Amino acid sequence: MHALAQHEGASAGSVANVSEVMQAIAEHKGCGTSGGSGKASCGSAAGQGDLPTEIWEKVKNHPCYSEEAHHHYARMHVAVAPACNIQCNYCNRKYDCANESRPGVVSEKLTPEQAAKKVLAVASTIPQMTVLGIAGPGDPLANPEKTFKTFELISKTAPDIKLCLSTNGLTLPDHVDTIAGFNVDHVTITINMVDPEIGAKIYPWVFWKHKRYTGVEAAKLLTDRQLLGLEMLTERGILCKVNSVMIPGINDKHLVEVNKAVKSRGAFLHNIMPLISAPEHGTVFGLTGQRGPTAQELKALQDSCEGEMNMMRHCRQCRADAVGLLGEDRSAEFTTDKIMAMEVNYDLDSRKAYQAMVEEERVAKVAAKQEELTTLAGEQSDIKLLVAVATKGSGLINEHFGHAKEFQVYELSTAGAKFVGHRRVDLYCQGGYGDEDSLETVIRAINDCHAVFVAKIGGCPKGDLQKAGIDPVDQYAHEFIEKSAIAWFKAYLDKVNSGEIEHVERGDAEIRQGALITAA
């Protein structure tokens, strides 16, 4: 890890001074960006699993698609596409959308030129930044000129950055050739239904070819276009992920059908996300009191789809203009004013060198896990349990309990440790001392876990966690997550077998429904 910091200083370029960059590493947190709301959620398997090799090659370093890579690489989104062509009941266009990777239209809008400069500035400061996405604030394909201009500018200067795109799919068939032309290798389509009757409860209208359609007719049009677009992309070998928002009572059972429909058309990953809904979001669902799923409901649905295809569980539903790694948001460092004043020196070689080092680190982590797994061989037990982990990335237990903005959740069994999601929480500890209410929220967010692994924890929260039945574990501080979790699980099984402790099931946990962005 120290080597990382040194190297990082060397590649600082002219974008940021060394201390800022050291900070970047100190804060290095893997994938994603800030989201804000509490999520259990998605996660493709850590390894290749049953993915075909050519697909695995494309996704293994993609922070949004590979659960393992998201500890090490980052992606960013630029908000160049404000217009949308459909209306969703979980969306209020004024505010950041909690359900999809989309900032509200009031977020800072960028021109394609500003966006391209921002990407280069960030990539020069954060060498782990390997993926650029366009997801909003509206629909990228309802703003095709702006979206494709941005891709064009970036692919010229930074050919090593992967381009990706999220769309509702309505106009996707019209743009498939352009997408292929820009070598966009990942497209995400949000598909919440394949039955127009259900769609009519989610989408009040769509605007297509100069006309507003409503009701079942609108939903029929949308689903036809989405599935056609998906087929056209996969025919051309472009990777497609499907996002679905799980809306209890509307499409929760139906998503199993959606899963089959998208799998048969070649989608490589299905990401089922919980509906985030609260009256203050001002969305139709927020106002009608439509609830989101609990952590158990979400996991049950994800599990029931898992036999069908790869599920993605590490998705943070991150905001589309966020910048940073694993649950952090560094957007404030890269405002338009600051970027326009920056001298950007895009250094492809130092980025490559940095990424090579990250690769070594990943190999070490996997080896440690494999070694520990052998100790579980021969163990016979039906016990399956969840544990929460406080991490800043790199696959290590390296976050203080009080500083964690999210916990990663692993399912432990004799088969090993499997990443199954993450839970966002409010910071328990702001400025060094804990606040009691937020400790309760943290406990509710990880209430289905038997233990929480941390680098450090204060005496007080330790006692409260124990009272709540969650074992605070700090003996594996700064060690690899999976290796430690397996070692802990082995000891747990031994204690159960010897009768020293009794295994009890845990209850359900809450998915945080707060506003999308808390102060960064």
Partner 1 sequence: MALKIIASQCTSCSACEPECPNVAIREKNGTFIIDPKKCTECIGHFDAPQCTAVCPVDDTCVIDTSYPRYQAPA
Query: Which parts of this chain interact with partner 1 (CB under 8 A)?
Result: 82-85, 87, 93-94, 105-106, 109, 137-138, 142-143, 207, 210-212
Other CB atoms within 10 Å distance of the CB of residue 132 = 25
Residue closer to partner 1 by CB (options 94, 495) is 94
Shortest separation between residue 142's beta carbon and partner 1, angstroms: 7
Task: Tokens 């429904």: give the residue.
Answer: 513
Q: How far apart are CA 244 and CA 251, in angstroms?
A: 9
Shortest separation between residue 114's beta carbon and partner 1, angstroms: 15
Residue closer to partner 1 by CB (options 175, 270) is 175
Q: Are strands 239-246 and 269-274 parallel, antiparallel or unpaired?
A: parallel
222 three-state secondary structure: helix
Residue closer to partner 1 by CB (options 62, 93) is 93
* Residue pair 119/132 in contact by the 8 Å Cβ criterion: yes
Query: Which DSSP letter does residue 37 get?
Result: S
Bridge partners, 274 (sequence order): 246
Other CB atoms within 10 Å distance of the CB of residue 292 = 27
Residue closer to partner 1 by CB (options 144, 266) is 144
Shortest separation between residue 202's beta carbon and partner 1, angstroms: 15
Q: How far apart are CA 401 and CA 477, in angstroms?
A: 11
Residue closer to partner 1 by CB (options 286, 434) is 286
Q: How far apart are CA 485 and CA 480, in angstroms?
A: 9
Shortest separation between residue 424's beta carbon and partner 1, angstroms: 26
Residue closer to partner 1 by CB (options 94, 338) is 94
Residue closer to partner 1 by CB (options 86, 295) is 86
Residue closer to partner 1 by CB (options 149, 456) is 149
Q: How far apart are CA 85 and CA 206, in angstroms?
A: 6
Other CB atoms within 10 Å distance of the CB of residue 18 = 12
AA identity, residue 472: P
Burial of 57 by CB count in 10 Å (0-12 exposed, 13-18 middle, 19+ buried)? Answer: exposed
Shortest separation between residue 207's beta carbon and partner 1, angstroms: 5
* Residue pair 131/73 in contact by the 8 Å Cβ criterion: yes
Question: Which residues have CB under 8 Å from 240's CB, separation 6+?
Answer: 186, 187, 188, 189, 230, 233, 234, 262, 266, 267, 268
Shortest separation between residue 170's beta carbon and partner 1, angstroms: 12
Shortest separation between residue 77's beta carbon and partner 1, angstroms: 17
Residue closer to partner 1 by CB (options 284, 446) is 284
Bridge partners, 190 (sequence order): 243
* Residue pair 305/255 in contact by the 8 Å Cβ criterion: yes
Shortest separation between residue 258's beta carbon and partner 1, angstroms: 25
